[in-house]
Structure 1
Amino acid sequence: MLFLLRMLLLAVHFVIASVVGLLIGLCRPFNPDNSRLCARVYAVPAMWILGLRVKLEDDTVRDHVRSAVIVANHISNYDLMVFGLTVPRRTVSLGKKSLKWIPLFGQLYWLAGNVLVDRGNAVQAKKAMLTTTDTLQHKDMSLWVFAEGTRGHGKGLQPFKKGAFLMAINAGVPIIPICSNNYVRGMKLNRWHSGNIIIRSLPPIPTTGLSIDDVPKLLADCHARMAACIDELDREAGTTKR
């Protein structure tokens, strides 16, 4: 019963938050801080509705004042709300072009200045990457990427795609890993306290002086750091795989 009530409230909240986010986007279209504001509108009430307790240890990403590529692990559809608590100022994300067809949310996502990529069109994808590289270099903005490209559903960190690391090297900006425990393993939405989430950002990984040839090593280094961090967060939050 509590689960059904939560899903109903979450659906109503999603519609209301999407309308509020769309109004923010219409009042200040493509403002680089729209994503952070809209993320909070989704996240704060959603965590209360779902009964999730969130602990933020995100100093390195929150206090970073220069452009960066922020790489996060992708766990479930709830990530929109979970990671929405920690999106820093002047940050946009990289998303699938198909997102724009979601009523209300797709339009606010576009108006928030996020980058939509058609992964099935190599020419358009390359053009989007070049535009993003210019944004990182010259517009004092950061880019949020789920480098796995798909949800892990609590099965652990999946292999990374190289696009985020290419953009970071081309723009000469650091990579900031940010991790959450695999919270879906312990979510019990029929209980008042449905689970624990810990979000932790890691120290920036510099890319200055690196070339395209360094992408595999950079990708592997970031993946190893994040995998170790996620394992530690799972132990602390009690969401280790059984």
Structure 2
Amino acid sequence: MSSDSLPIPDDLVQPVPISSTTFFLTAALIWSTLFYTKNPLQYYLKYVTYALIVIVVATFTIFLCLLRPCDARNVAVVAKVLSFFFQIFQIDIQLENSKYFQSKEPFILVCNHQSSLDFLTMMKVWPGGNCTPLAKKELFYSGPFGLAIWLCGITFIDRLNPQKARGTIDKLAKKINDENLRVWIYPEGTRSPSTNLLPFKKGAFHLAIQAQIPIICVVTSSYSNFYHKREKKFDFGGKVKVRVLPPFNTTGMTLDSVAQLTKHLQDLMQREFDLLNKEIGLDQKYYIKAKSNEETNEKTHDVTRTFVQDLDYTQISDVTQMNSLISQTDLTSQLQNDSNNNSVTEDDTGKKVN
């Protein structure tokens, strides 16, 4: 019999089984390579990873919050967990003036809204305490995430029904003082990746005046240098500057001043946004200026604060002194004041930033 006709043992033709450990190690290696190296799939992989982290943490949050359902303090715990996992994106978030969150009184926090990555900066900046974001009602129906944020005590608002929205604001105004609540609001109402803030909706400012509590503006620099949805860019080494502005006290103001206050604080945040983008070296190709605002931008490009600078907050060491000084100031006349001063803030190390 020739060697060609010899039978092949069965154990030689069977496929070699791959252990689950080998499979997961291989998958992890491929994921890590695509995640951390520049390639066409990096944007999608990083964004999917970001979404999966949020969904997984939200699922565990549901069970955690059953011990303390619908309590706004739950968010502080979730913020710490998410901030830990978000470190894999290697985004350097620099927070300035966090001392303004140390107030024991309730306040409204307003922040510019750029993209879904705002959740990343929100969790890093989270002011702590009894704080709740104001979110659109549609988020409640977003699966585990919607259920989790409801259990975290998030306040939902129906943007499509003005009457219900006003009712929500009225109830929240009473709840703020009764429960010493802080409320985080994105006054633009929708995401804007450009360097022009969208027109602010008045709800946040109406709420602050109705509750007679301060407004704290938080301005986040553009993400465009490392993240851009249209360009499918999600790079490493991103840098974000977040600047907390001194509280603006609304004590004594009436609802007649809502429009004026809204415009003033939007101008204030736009100027700080422009400054922050300069400081991080934002690529000029991302600067988008609306024609209707060109003249205003030319006049205010190098102007930083009006109301807050007149009070010289750099000499104030704590929030109590700050509120005392604000209460002695004529708010209406300060709103109309357009004096030109250079912005001076402090980072969390106490170092002055010009």
- Give the alignment's TM-score, normalised by structure 1: 0.92
After superposition, residues 1-242 of structure 1 pair within 5 angstroms as: 1-2=34-35, 3=42, 4-46=44-86, 48-88=87-127, 89-187=129-227, 191-193=235-237, 195-239=238-282, 241-242=284-285
Identical columns (%): 28
SS in structure 2 at match of 1:93: strand
Q: Does the CA-based 8 Å contact 1:154-1:183 persist in structure 2? A: no
Deviation sequence 1:197-223 (CA, Å, 0-9, x none) = 111100001101101111112112211
Q: Does the CA-based 8 Å contact 2:65-2:74 persist in structure 1? A: yes
SS in structure 2 at match of 1:200: strand
Q: What amino acid is the match of 2:116?
A: N
Deviates more, 1:26-35 or 1:57-66: 57-66
Q: What amino acid is the match of 1:163?
A: G
Deviation sequence 1:145-191 (CA, Å, 0-9, x none) = 00000101133311100010000000000100001001134438564
Q: What amino acid is the match of 2:257?
A: D
Q: C-alpha displacement at 1:52, in angstroms?
A: 1.1
Deviation sequence 1:122-144 (CA, Å, 0-9, x none) = 33212211111011121111110
The structure whose Rg is larger is 2
Task: Point out where structure 2 has 5 or more consecutive residues left out of the alignment.
Answer: 1-33, 36-41, 286-354
Q: What amino acid is the match of 1:98?
A: E
SS in structure 1 at match of 2:66: helix
Question: What is aligned with 2:296?
Answer: none
Question: What is aligned with 2:289?
Answer: none
Give the direction of change, closer, same or farther, for the CA distance of 1:230–1:190 in structure 2 (3 Å limit). Answer: closer
CA distance in 2, matches of 1:149, 1:140: 24
CA distance in 2, matches of 1:110, 1:183: 28
CA distance in 2, matches of 1:238, 1:18: 35
Give the direction of change, closer, same or farther, for the CA distance of 1:9–1:165 in structure 2 (3 Å limit). Answer: same
After superposition, the CA RMSD in angstroms is 1.8
Give the direction of change, closer, same or farther, for the CA distance of 1:241–1:169 in structure 2 (3 Å limit). Answer: farther
Q: C-alpha displacement at 1:119, in angstroms?
A: 1.4
Deviation sequence 1:25-50 (CA, Å, 0-9, x none) = 2121122211222233333322x232
CA distance in 2, matches of 1:151, 1:98: 15
Q: Does the CA-based 8 Å contact 2:226-2:234 persist in structure 1? A: no
- Give the alignment's TM-score, normalised by structure 2: 0.64
SS in structure 2 at match of 1:95: strand
Q: Does the CA-based 8 Å contact 2:195-2:274 persist in structure 1? A: no
The aligned length equals: 240
